[in-house]
Chains A and B, each alone.
Chain A
Amino acid sequence: MAHSEKVLGKINAMEQRCDERRTLWQAVTESFVKEGADGITMELAKEMGAIQDRFDTALGKLDAML
Chain B
Amino acid sequence: MRSTIAVEPLQSVSWLRQHWHYGAVLLQLFAIVIVLRQFQIENGAFREVSVLAFAGFAIHYFLPMRYRLPFFAGLSVTAAILVLGFANGLWLLGFGFTLLGICHLPLPMWVRVALLCGVGLLAAAAKLQWIPGPWSQAIWPILASMFMFRIVVYLYDMRHEKPSLARSISYFFMLPNVCFPMFPVVDYKGFRRTYYDADEHQIYQTGVDWMVRGIVQLILYRAIYFYWTLSPGDVIDPDTMTQYLVANFLLYLRISGDFHLITGMLHLFGFNLIPTHHLYCLSSSFTDFWRRINIYWKDFMMKIFYYPLFFRLRKHGEVPAIIVATMIVFALTWLLHSYQWFWLRGDFPIIWQDAVFWMGLAVLVVFGAVREFKHGRSRTLGTTQESRRDMVLRGLRTVGVFLAICVLWSIWTSESIVHWISIWSFLWRGIPDGGSPFPLLLAAICVVVFIGAVIFGRESAATQFIALGNGFRLPRATVETVLLLGLIVPVGLPQVYTHFGADVANVIVSLRSGGLSRADAAALERGYYEGLTRVNRFNSQLWEVYMDRPAGGLMEVGGSGLTRLRDDFLQTELARGYRSETKHGAIETNQWGMRDGMYTLEPAGNVVRGVILGFSTVMGWGVEQNETFEAVLEERINRRLTEISDQRFELLNLAVPGYRPPQQVMALEEGLKFSPDVVFYTAAGREQWNTIKFLAETVSKGVEIPYPDLAALLAEAGVDSDMSETEVLQRLKPHDDTLVAWVYDRIAQRCMALGIRPVWIYVPPLFPTAEEPEEHERARRLAQAAGFEIVDLSGVFDGRDPASLSLEEWDRHPTAAAHAMIAGGLYEAMAEHPGDFGLPGL
Is the A/B pair a real complex?
A: no
What is B's interface to A at a CB cutoff of 8 Å? Answer: none
